[in-house]
Structure 1
Amino acid sequence: VINANVKSIEDHGYILHLGSSSFSGFLPRSDGN
């Protein structure tokens, strides 16, 4: 299990903060297609 917080919302997805300043990620947003 990885806990993540949304750091910012972008046009095409979300920037995630993964608990450490050296770890971040991107989660693409689905447009429903």
Structure 2
Amino acid sequence: MGSKLPYRIDLFDDEIETLRTFDPESQRSIDKVDS
């Protein structure tokens, strides 16, 4: 994927509900990624 930030994936059943980047040090979400 080639991103400088890690992604947080929230799942609902077997579907991706949200995809967000987050700060690895604070664990806080930064931005929601559009599909």
Task: Verify same fold: TM over 0.5.
Answer: no
Structure number having the greater strand percentage? 2
